[in-house]
């Protein structure tokens, strides 16, 4: 065990009211730190601090807020290697993925530092004449942020940066599997000069109790959640009692379509990113591949060769793919693959298994998968690439849109016009066209259907933390 971390409330590092909990490296199964285990009392104390800090922060000049965000970004880049090491240690992802995450996470501070100083509002005369309408935007207030373990840095900064840019103060509950990175980012924010109480971090094992303390607290005016659709539904129900402003970034089941005229090599390259980045544990991960019959054999062989060459193991050994986050996650994917095989799917290609003791799952390519199979219908969250062969475009669209999810999708096609035409008909908030990556701080990230409500990143990401007010002025 390396060290112990506290709860951050009002600029002070405090013990948790529920003792401590272990953070385990999922690649080695060793305890790497102990973290203060917060409970509902700590959650309320964090709101006390955020509420007290709110008036001064909201009144701070946008330029001054922007400077602090930019400074945080600089500090994240200064400490990029250390942060990447921490992400790999608590989440298990490869160092390459962890480094990419640090860059992506830091970029939210730059993007929202730039957005913080772009004033928005409106001024006009009413259609009937005689009055003027002035529209202004206020920070919504204390924002409760709840984040998952799969991107311990980026899921936190994608919320903290726009909240602070808008003038909100925050209370953050990182996932219990990966609290260390969020705490490290909070420490850098303090070093940058962000005032005490503006960012409060409440790690803890009892997520329902901590988050319920926030949804019940009238001082909390915003809930921004990233995680599973199931928990998102529960939190929407809780938020309904006080009509809390909510943003929900939930699960996905991204299709990856390869058309007959696609550049197959480019599609394979994109598939490796869309599927195997983060070991398949991304909400935007390609979950199901639909490959046109005329290129299915070539695509499968080329993707298979790449998958067989993947090195699976601990990040510290320079692997391409780390472990899954938990024994439960591994059991779930083993079940999905076993069920697929029992109903006729074939494990066509497989990487070499890891030799380390962690929660490793060996990446596989499955063929002869039916569109109705569980491995296609459920969010797999693991390095499994099920391939369904298609030939009729309308049938394909029916299958693509049959999911309750609508987060990301990918289309590889030679004819860009046809690709755009297809993309417009896919029910997804984001479509990568001849690209295997859609995440970009300057673009509106989010889903339709049961993948969520609201957007993160882009200008829209800041608006999630503001409320409009208008003045009707007799003229």
Our CB check for ligand NAD shows the closer of 107 and 249 to be: 249
| Phi, psi angles (nearest 5°) of residue 13 | -95, 120
Q: Of 73, 173, 288, 330, which one interacts with ligand NAD (CB under 6 A)?
A: 173
Our CB check for ligand NAD shows the closer of 145 and 268 to be: 145
Place of tokens 């394979």: 268
Residue nearest to ligand NAD according to CB distances in the complex: 227
How far is Cα 153 from Cα 385, in angstroms, rounded to an integer?
26
CA distances from 449 to 147, 249, 401, 407 (A): 20, 11, 10, 8
How far is Cα 73 from Cα 67, in angstroms, rounded to an integer?
10
Q: Of 452, 454, 457, 461, which one interacts with ligand NAD (CB under 6 A)?
A: 452
Q: Which of 221, 209, 253, 187 is nearest to 401 (CA)?
A: 253
Question: What is the closest distance, in whole angstroms, from the C-beta atom of residue 101 to ligand NAD in the complex?
Answer: 12
Which x/- pattern over 68-107 shows residues binding ligand NAD (rule: CB under 6 A)? Answer: ----------------------------------------
Question: What dihedral do alpha carbons 256, 159, 464, 207 form, nearest 10°?
Answer: 90
**How many CA atoms, within 13 angstroms, populate the side-chain half-sphere of residue 98?**
29
Q: Of 407, 413, 419, 428, which one interacts with ligand NAD (CB under 6 A)?
A: 407
Question: What is the closest distance, in whole angstroms, from the C-beta atom of residue 309 to ligand NAD in the complex?
Answer: 27
Q: Of 55, 124, 193, 208, which one interacts with ligand NAD (CB under 6 A)?
A: 208
Our CB check for ligand NAD shows the closer of 270 and 429 to be: 429
Choose one: 12-20, 86-94, 160-168, 250-258; the region binding ligand NAD (CB under 6 A).
250-258
Our CB check for ligand NAD shows the closer of 199 and 235 to be: 235
283, 378, 379, 456: the active-site residue: 283
Residue 176 engages ligand NAD in binding (rule: CB under 6 A): yes
Choose one: 101-109, 123-131, 147-155, 343-351; the region binding ligand NAD (CB under 6 A).
147-155
Our CB check for ligand NAD shows the closer of 167 and 251 to be: 251
Residues 278-307 close enough to bind ligand NAD by CB under 6 A: 283
Q: How many CB atoms lie within 10 A of CB 332?
A: 18
Q: In terms of C-beta density within 10 A (0-12 exposed, 13-18 middle, 19 or more buried), how is residue 260 classed?
A: middle
How far is Cα 352 from Cα 314, in angstroms, rounded to an integer?
14
Q: Of 72, 88, 150, 157, which one interacts with ligand NAD (CB under 6 A)?
A: 150
Q: Of 139, 179, 251, 279, which one interacts with ligand NAD (CB under 6 A)?
A: 251
Q: Is 249 noted as a catalytic residue in this protein?
A: yes
List strand residue ranges (DSSP E) for 112-236, in order: 122-125, 131-139, 142-146, 170-173, 199-201, 220-226
Contacting residues for 293 by C-beta, under 8 A, at least 6 apart: 389, 390, 391
Q: Is 168 noted as a catalytic residue in this protein?
A: no
DSSP classification of residue 259: -
Q: Of 14, 52, 207, 460, which one interacts with ligand NAD (CB under 6 A)?
A: 207
List strand residue ranges (DSSP E) for 302-446, in order: 346-350, 364-367, 384-390, 408-412, 430-433
Question: Which residues of this protein are in contact with ligand NAD, per CB under 6 A?
Answer: 146-150, 155, 173, 175-176, 207-208, 211, 226-228, 231, 234-235, 249-252, 283, 379, 407, 447, 452
Active site residues: 249, 283
């Amino acid at each position: 065990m390396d060290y112990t971390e506290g709860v951050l409330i009002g600029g002070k590092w405090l013990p948790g009211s529920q003792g401590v909990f272990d953070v385990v490296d999922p690649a080695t199964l060793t305890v790497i730190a102990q973290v203060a285990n917060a409970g509902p009392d700590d959650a309320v104390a964090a709101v006390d601090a955020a509420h007290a800090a709110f008036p001064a922060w909201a009144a701070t000049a946008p330029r001054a807020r922007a400077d602090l965000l930019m400074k945080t970004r600089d500090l994240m880049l200064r400490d990029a290697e250390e942060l990447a090491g921490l992400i790999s240690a608590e989440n298990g992802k490869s160092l390459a993925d962890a480094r990419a995450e640090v860059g992506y996470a830091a970029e939210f501070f730059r993007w929202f530092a730039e957005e913080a100083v772009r004033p928005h509002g409106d001024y006009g005369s009413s259609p009937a004449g005689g009055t003027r309408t002035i529209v202004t935007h206020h920070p919504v207030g204390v924002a409760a942020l709840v984040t998952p373990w799969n991107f311990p840095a980026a899921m936190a900064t994608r919320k903290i940066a726009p909240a602070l840019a808008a003038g909100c103060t925050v209370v953050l509950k990182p996932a219990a599997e990966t609290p260390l990175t969020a705490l490290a980012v909070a420490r850098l924010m303090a070093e940058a000069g962000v005032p005490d109480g503006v960012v409060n971090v409440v790690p803890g094992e009892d997520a329902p109790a901590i988050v319920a303390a926030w949804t019940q607290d009238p001082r909390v005016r915003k809930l921004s959640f990233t995680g599973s659709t199931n928990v998102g539904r529960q939190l929407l129900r809780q938020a309904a009692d006080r009509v809390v402003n909510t943003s929900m970034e939930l699960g996905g089941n991204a299709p990856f379509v390869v058309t007959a005229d696609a550049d197959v090599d480019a599609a394979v390259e994109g598939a490796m990113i869309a599927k195997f980045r983060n070991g398949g544990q991304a909400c935007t991960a390609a979950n199901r591949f639909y490959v046109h019959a005329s290129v299915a054999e070539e695509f499968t062989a080329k993707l298979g060769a790449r998958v067989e060459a993947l090195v699976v193991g601990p990040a510290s050994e320079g692997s391409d793919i780390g472990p899954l986050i938990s024994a439960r996650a591994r059991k779930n994917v083993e079940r999905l693959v076993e069920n697929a095989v029992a109903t006729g799917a074939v494990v066509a290609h497989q990487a070499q298994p890891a030799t380390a003791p962690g929660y490793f799952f060996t990446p596989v390519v499955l063929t002869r998968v039916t569109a109705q199979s569980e491995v296609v219908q459920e969010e797999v969250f693991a390095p499994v690439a099920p391939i369904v062969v298609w030939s009729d475009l309308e049938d394909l669209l029916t299958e693509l849109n049959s999911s309750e999810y609508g987060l990301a999708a990918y289309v590889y096609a030679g004819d860009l016009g046809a690709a755009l035409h297809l993309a417009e008909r896919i029910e997804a908030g984001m479509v990568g066209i001849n690209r295997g990556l859609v995440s970009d701080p300057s673009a509106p990230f989010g889903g339709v259907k049961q993948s969520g409500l609201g957007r993160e990143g882009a200008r829209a990401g800041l608006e999630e933390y503001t409320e409009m007010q208008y003045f009707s002025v007799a003229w």
